[in-house]
Amino acid sequence: MPANYVPIFIFIAIIAVALPVTLLAAKLIRPDNPQKTKAMPYECGVDPIGDARARYTVRFYIIAILFVVFDVETIFLFPWAVQYKALGLFGLAEMLVFLAILIVGYVWVWKKGALEWI
């Protein structure tokens, strides 16, 4: 059914035209008076110290890795859920094995302290 998917491109085309055109049209009527202090990064009125793209805590990285693991596993569950009744007990047992492996990993991550923020 490719006709079902055509509206996605229509929608993206409409938005890709409408939003930038509004932004550029607004440029004609809004004031434009750039100054050096205005273009400084906002830091509550104090001159910023150093570049913003410095190092930050490694926790965000761990969260990202965990997210990839769990989200891919969620995607694997979608076709299983659709065919659940048809698969019957076989599907249940298979998925319990799959989830058991995942849960072992989850418990390991928890015990390792990767889910602690402090």
**Which residues form the interface with other proteins (CB under 8 A)?**
1, 3-8, 10-12, 14-16, 18-20, 22-23, 26-27, 29-34, 36, 38-44, 48, 51-53, 56, 59-60, 63-64, 66-67, 70-71, 74-75, 77-78, 81-86, 88-89, 92, 95-96, 99, 103, 106, 110, 115-118
Which residue, 22 or 108, is less far from other proteins as judged by CB?
A: 22
Residue 7 Cβ vs other proteins, minimum distance, rounded to whole Å: 5
Q: Which of 70, 61, 78, 66 is nearest to 102 (CA)?
A: 70
What Å distances lie between residue 108 and 5, 37, 62, 70, 111, CA to CA? 42, 51, 14, 14, 5
Residue 9 Cβ vs other proteins, minimum distance, rounded to whole Å: 10
